[in-house]
Amino acid sequence: MSKVLVTGAAGFIGSHLVDRLLEAGYEVAGLDCFTDYYSPEVKRRNLSRALAHERFTPIEGDLLQLDLDDLIRGVDGVAHLAGEPGVRSSWGERFPTYLERNVQTTQRLLEAASRGGLEHFVYASSSSIYGSSDGGPVAEDATLRPASPYGMSKVAAEELVRLYARERGVTSTVLRYFTVYGPRQRPEMALSRFICAISSGEPVEVFGDGSQAREVTYVSDVVEATVATLETKPKEPARAYNVGGGTRTTVGKLVNLVGETLGERPEVRYCPPVPGDVLSTWANLGRSRRELGYEPRVSLEEGVARQVRWVLAERRALAAA
Ligand SMILES: NC(=O)c1ccc[n+]([C@@H]2O[C@H](COP(=O)([O-])OP(=O)(O)OC[C@H]3O[C@@H](n4cnc5c(N)ncnc54)[C@H](O)[C@@H]3O)[C@@H](O)[C@H]2O)c1
C-alpha cells in the first residue's frame, strides 16, 4: 500500500494519523470540510506540518457532496475518521447532523469503495457502541448497547461497513477507539477542559460525581494501531478491534493528575450528570494484541504531561502571534 486517503484529516486524531503516514513514507490525501463543531482555525493549525510536506495532498470538501469515485480510484487504502463526535450534543435537535456526518458519509464512501479496487477500508468507530462496561473488560463480540444517539450513529456506520463487506466485497476493518487524549485533543473533551481551566486558575466543571471510570488511550497509540491495521490483511470481512490505552482512570483522579502536573490545586465545581455519559469503559485488548500486534506504549502520567506541555506551548505561541 502506498497511497492513503484520510478523511477527517484536520481533526484531532486524523491530523496525527496524516503526520505519521507521511513520516512512514506514504503518499497521503487528507480530506476535511472543517465543520464548526469546534474552531475551524484550530483544525487548520492541526494540518500545518502536513501542508508543508510534498507527499501530502489536501482536499477541502464535504463527503456528503464530493464525487468520491475519483478520490477512491486514486488510493490504495482509506482511513475514515471524518464524523461528528461528542456524546452530549447528540441528544435532541442536532441528531440529523450525526446521521449525516457519521452514517451517510460512511455509506457514500463504501458505495464508492465497492466500485473501485480499494485494498483496505478502515473505519474509526468508538467504545460508545458498547455503552457501560459494568462487569469488566469488554471484548469485541459483546452485545452493542449504546447509551447515546452518538453511540447509536457509530453502530449504524459499523453495520454499513459489515454490510458492504458481506454483500459488496469491500475489504474493511473496524477499529473501536477508547477515549483518546494528547496534543490537539478536541477542546470540549474532559482532559482539554481540565488543563485549560486549572492552568488559568479557573474552577473545573465535572459532570456527575467524578467517579466515572474511563479506559483512556494516548493518540500515538491509536495512530500506531490504525497504521498497523491498514497494513494487515483482514482475517475476516469487517473484523472489529478494540483500541484502548491499557490504562483506566476516573474523572476525579484525572482532575487531580492535571493539578499535580501543573503544580496547582484544582477547584472543582460539580454539575449534574450528562445523559449518555456511561459509568465505565474498559477494553479487552486480547484480539488487537494477538492479531494486530498492538501494544499501548504511553502511560497516563506521561501522556497527560505531554498534553499539558502542548497546551501551554500553544498558548504562548498564540499570545506571541
Ligand atoms: N477522540 C476520541 O476520543 C474518539 C473516540 C472514539 C472514536 N472517535 C472517532 O474518531 C474519529 C475522529 O475523532 P476526533 O476526536 O479526531 O474528531 P474531530 O472532530 O477532531 O475530527 C473529525 C473531523 O471530521 C471532519 N468532518 C466531519 N464531517 C465531515 C464531512 N461530511 N466531510 C469531510 N469532513 C468532515 C471535521 O471537520 C473534523 O475535522 C471520529 O469518527 C470519532 O467518532 C474519537
- pLDDT, tens digit, for every residue of 160-185? 999 999 999 999 999 999 999 999 99
Q: In CATH, which of 1.20.58.220, 1.10.1040.10, 3.40.50.720, 3.30.750.24 is domain 3-178+219-244+282-296?
A: 3.40.50.720
Mean pLDDT over each residue of the chain, to the nearest integer: 96
Q: From 198, 190, 241, 197, select the one nearest 214 (Cα to Cα).
A: 190
For ligand 1, whether the C-beta of 126 sits within 6 Å is yes
Q: What is the pLDDT of residue 105?
A: 98
Catalytic residue among 98, 123, 130, 150: 150
Ligand 1, pocket-test mutation among 180, 189, 216, 249, most atoms within 8 A of CB = 180
Q: What local confidence, expressed as pLDDT, does residue 257 receive?
A: 98
Across residues 250-263, what is the average pLDDT?
98
Average pLDDT over residues 46-67: 98
Q: How far is the CA of 37 from the centre of ligand 1 (A)?
A: 10
Please tell me the predicted confidence (pLDDT) of residue 1.
77
pLDDT for residue 231: 94
Ligand 1 in reach of 63 Cβ (< 6 A): yes
Does the C-beta of 13 come closer than 6 Å to ligand 1? yes
Let me know if 218 is a catalytic residue: no
pLDDT band at 276 (very low <50, low <70, confident <90, very high): confident
> Alpha-carbon distance 133 to 214, whole Å?
10
DSSP 308: H
CB 14 within 8 A of CB 83: no
Q: Is the CB of 155 under 6 A from ligand 1?
A: no
The yes-or-no verdict on residue 321 having pLDDT over 90 is no
pLDDT band at 210 (very low <50, low <70, confident <90, very high): very high
Predicted confidence band of residue 116 (pLDDT cuts 50, 70, 90): confident
Cβ of 34 below 6 Å from ligand 1: yes
Which atom of ligand 1 lies at the shortest distance from residue 34's CA? 37
Helices (H), the chain: 12-23, 40-46, 48-51, 68-73, 95-98, 105-115, 149-168, 190-199, 219-230, 251-262, 286-292, 300-320
Burial class (CB in 10 A: 0-12, 13-18, 19+), 42: middle
Q: pLDDT category, 135, cuts 50, 70, 90? A: confident
**Residue 198: predicted pLDDT:** 98
User: Ligand 1 centre from 8 Cα, in Å?
Assistant: 6
